[in-house]
Amino acid sequence: MSEENDLSKEESLHDSVPVTGMYKEWFLDYASYVILERAVPAIEDGLKPVQRRILHAMKEMDDGRFNKVANIIGQSMQYHPHGDASIGDAIVNIGQKELLIETQGNWGDVRTGDRAAAARYIEARLSKFALDVVFNPQTTEWQLSYDGRKREPVTLPVKFPLLLAQGVEGIAVGLSTKILPHNFCELIAGSIEILKGNPTNVLPDFITGGLADFSEYNGGQRGGKVKVRAKIEEEDSKTILIKEIPYGTTTDSLIDSILKANDKGKIKIKKVVDNTAKDVEIAIQLASGVSPDVTIDALYAFTDCEVSISPNACVIIEDKPVFLNVNEILAYNTKQTKALLKRELEIRKAELMEKLLFSSLEKIFIENRIYRDIEECTTWEAVLEAIDKGLEPYKPDFYREIVQDDLLKLTEIRIKRISKFDTFKADELMKKLQGELKEVNYNLRHLTDYAIKYYENLLTKYGKGRERKTEIRTFDTIEATVVAANNAKLYVNRTDGFVGSGLKKDEFVCDCSDLDDIIVIRKDGKCMVSKIQDKNFMGKDILHVAVFRKGDERMVYNLIYLDGASGRAMVKRFQVLAVTRDKEYDLTKGTKGSKALYLTANANGEAEIVTVYLTQGAKARVKVFDFDFSTIDIKGRGAGGNILTKYPVRKIQLKMEGVSTLGGLDIYYDPIVGRLNTDERGDLIGNFLGDDKILVVYKTGDYELTSFELTNRYDPANVILIEKFDQDKIISAIYYDGGSKTFYVKRFQIETTTLNKKFNFITDHKQSYLKVVSTEKQPQASVVFMKGKDEEVMEYDLDMLIDVKGWKAIGNKLSSYTIKDIKLIESKKANPEGPSKVKSEVDEDEQIEVGKTIDLSVKKDDEEQLGLF
């Protein structure tokens, strides 16, 4: 009995398959199935199998009327071997893209995240675009459905880059795809350029609108990135409005991210109200004293108001997943469209030639009374032979051989048709067919031109209302530490050496953010930077503690220290631009016994005067003297400094507060991102000190005074003039009044002093706009106007046209003639680099004089250059 058991065990082991082998084969089969049949679209039509089967089912049902989505799901299940839920979700997804399906009922809202109603309540039908572009049974390749009962398309003969227009996202086994939607009109324009042999570069466009930076798009390939931002407007100093949301977010998810950022203290807001109806509008009420500009930046930095999307263009080509960029996909689809158009023309040519052939046969058969020859025939074969014999003289004129089927068709002509045959009408029909055939042949010979006309017709027919929704921008990099709200307080215990936000019983230093770095300078001449914590030991006897701003070239430290080795008092001015966190840096020469005697931190490079008192036992003749820090240069953090005195110092006292030795700050405006900077990007606005202001004039006819804070934001599409404000300058402007349909000219001075508030100086009609504006002393404008049928150009001196009046004055009518165009004539002194670039009022020589010839270059040691964090 045991021998039989052992034998059966051996047989079962012999028949078994290792699990590893099963896993290898089955896993690959499953992965291939998911990639090819579920997750990744085919490049030919841009559709996943479920989408293709839905569209095919809808075409079979199409009678011009709407069908319940529940019925469409049932019809689609004949082709798609999966549940109704996946089919229903796919239909809703297609319908929400508003291209292939016309919808009726509640189909949800991609902006708010609201779901569609149940399938039994909503209806759909194919759009006219889909019927024109997607289907053609004659050019479709067919296959049997999963159960063999029906035919379904392998791919649909789509004559349009549908994949790029709709976008797609799918996750397979070990593979994923994410192709972003692109603009309908731009895709057609791109295809036309490809047909003309020109390069193209298409960019995504999102139904939710918003702003997008495509500088790192990389053609939609792996490794690329798209930054998308909400469109945020400042309604007033206490309210900002979100008008459009980023792709991939909803109003609910966006509001949740804003509330979470507020709870964490990253931003400070009072309330968020969702007013979304036809258009998106999320109103954010700010806390008192909070800057709208800083809050907008903080929303981009800490909430879903800015999201980063990583595309990954993967498609199926010849049953294999292939990674392409979107321009290659567009070129492939354009080539395919051209091939499909050629195929349709060839099919049409064959049809026309067959119609012409039969029309000719019919005419010969009737006019030559060949039907009379078959009256005496007794067999069917004799009938066909008689007809064939009657056509014999004409056979050389036909484009192909006359076969038996042609003869059979002639026998099917009824007596009534023969008796009413009209030769003239027959000739007219044949001429029409010949004309159409000639046109088809012409199009085949000029296929590229035909394809271009096809695309142009698509654009004319379906392009209206499909203009770009997402605005293309270049985004500036927002530093989170700069825009984070002050959600923490910094305390210090100088004696014990503890610094942090949790030492509430110790000395308060300042408000800060939990993202900030803290700099400490101790009495022993050591400097350290560390991330803010609840309680952090940074060394005993702290002289200076503050929030550290990396790369702040305006912050200058004035230090007098005792060198322990020589006993000399050394003096230095230095900056701390870049360090490694939690690493100690020696500000002295590092010798034993060295210590700081005097230290100040100056946010704008101020250089004070101090009084130095030597000890009574010092051998120096002068035991009390003054020292001016402005007499020494600003050097690197590691520099040893200059000798102040070789005698022992008893004390040092401040004698006079210092003034900045750095001169004014050169402020630039970057018209691409609409931001101020000191990095020489864009146009130089001017050199700014203290209370200087910036004047901004907008195309809407508003002017605004702002500070020169780098956190200020300006809409580059709306700014017509930005420069350093001079209250003595006269503003000359020409604007269009929407009410009277007339141009007016006015000159005025800025009389208001309120910052960050817009004042409208043109008429308040919704069609009014500012045409030109200038702050030159003698501005000139060139005006093109119509005098009867003739076009004339006139140059005006604006300062001679009208006197200076109040900013609320309407102004004078510019001309009674119809004005076609107005342009400012740039003066010879105007900066050639652009109208918004204004030369600083302080030239280089004046800056040197104000700065007392101080060398502003900063010498960085090797450690500073390598120790960036």
DSSP 7-40: HHHHHHHHH---HHHHHHHHHHHHHHHHIIIIIS
Q: Which of 111-125, 457-471, 476-490, 666-680 has the lowest mean pLDDT?
A: 476-490
Q: Which of 551-555, 557-561, 696-700, 720-724 has the lowest mean pLDDT?
A: 551-555
> In sequence order, which residues have a C-beta less than 8 Å from that of residue 230 and are 6 or more positions away?
210, 211, 242, 243, 244, 245, 246, 254, 299, 305, 306
What pLDDT was estimated at residue 799? 85
What pLDDT was estimated at residue 37? 66
Does pLDDT of 869 surpass 90? Answer: no
Does pLDDT of 815 surpass 90? Answer: no
CA dihedral 2, 3, 4, 10 (to 10 degrees): 110
Query: Average pLDDT in the 665-681 region?
Result: 87
Residue bearing the bigger pLDDT, 51 or 12: 51
3-state secondary structure of 819: strand
pLDDT band at 729 (very low <50, low <70, confident <90, very high): very high
> In sequence order, which residues have a C-beta less than 8 Å from that of residue 534 and are 6 or more positions away?
500, 501, 502
What pLDDT was estimated at residue 537? 94
Structure tokens that stand for 79 in this block: 């082709």
Query: Average pLDDT in the 457-463 region?
Result: 95
What pLDDT was estimated at residue 659? 83
pLDDT band at 866 (very low <50, low <70, confident <90, very high): very low
Whole-number Å distance between alpha carbons of 87 and 120 = 14
What pLDDT was estimated at residue 487? 78
Does pLDDT of 12 surpass 70? Answer: no
pLDDT band at 186 (very low <50, low <70, confident <90, very high): very high
What pLDDT was estimated at residue 856? 27
Query: Average pLDDT in the 454-459 region?
Result: 95
Give the percent of the chain with pLDDT over 70.
Answer: 91
| H/E segment holding residue 257 | helix 251-263
Strands (E), 788-835: 790-797, 804-805, 812-813, 818-825
What pLDDT was estimated at residue 849? 28
pLDDT band at 732 (very low <50, low <70, confident <90, very high): very high
pLDDT band at 31 (very low <50, low <70, confident <90, very high): low
Degrees (nearest 5) of the Cα angle 721, 724, 726? Answer: 105
What pLDDT was estimated at residue 756? 85
Check residue 296 and report its DSSP letter.
Answer: H
Listing from the earlier edge strand, what are the strands of the sheet with 606-614?
Answer: 624-628, 606-614, 649-660
What pLDDT was estimated at residue 588? 93
Residue bearing the bigger pLDDT, 27 or 775: 775
Q: Which of 112-116, 403-407, 452-456, 703-707 has the lowest mean pLDDT?
A: 403-407
Query: The tokens 């991609």 sit on which residue?
Result: 110
What pLDDT was estimated at residue 23? 58
Burial of 735 (0-12, 13-18, 19+ CB in 10 A): buried
pLDDT band at 847 (very low <50, low <70, confident <90, very high): very low
Check residue 398 and report its DSSP letter.
Answer: S
pLDDT band at 833 (very low <50, low <70, confident <90, very high): very low
Adjacent-strand bridge partners of 517: 531, 548
What pLDDT was estimated at residue 836? 41
Does pLDDT of 475 surpass 90? Answer: no
Whole-number Å distance between alpha carbons of 226 and 219 = 10
The residues annotated as belonging to the active site are 121
Degrees (nearest 5) of the Cα angle 729, 732, 733? Answer: 145
Does pLDDT of 829 surpass 60? Answer: no
Q: Is the torsion defined by CA of 295, 299, 305, 311 positive or negative?
A: positive
Burial of 198 (0-12, 13-18, 19+ CB in 10 A): exposed
Average pLDDT, the chain: 86
Query: Average pLDDT in the 527-536 region?
Result: 93
Q: Are 48 and 168 in contact (CB under 8 A)?
A: yes
Residue bearing the bigger pLDDT, 589 or 411: 589
Query: The tokens 């076609």 sit on which residue?
Result: 820
Burial of 64 (0-12, 13-18, 19+ CB in 10 A): exposed
Q: Is the torsion defined by CA of 734, 737, 741, 742 positive or negative?
A: negative
Q: Are 821 and 785 in contact (CB under 8 A)?
A: no
Q: Are 279 and 285 in contact (CB under 8 A)?
A: no
- Considering 279-283, 387-391, 474-478, the range whose residues carry the highest mean pLDDT is 279-283
| Entry field: residues in the chain | 869
Query: Average pLDDT in the 609-621 region?
Result: 91
**Residues 226-245: pLDDT tens digits?**
999 999 998 888 899 999 99
Query: Average pLDDT in the 330-334 region?
Result: 95
What pLDDT was estimated at residue 393? 83
What pLDDT was estimated at residue 830? 41
Query: Average pLDDT in the 1-29 region?
Result: 55
Measuring CA to CA, which residue among 800, 806, 762 is closest to residue 781?
Answer: 800
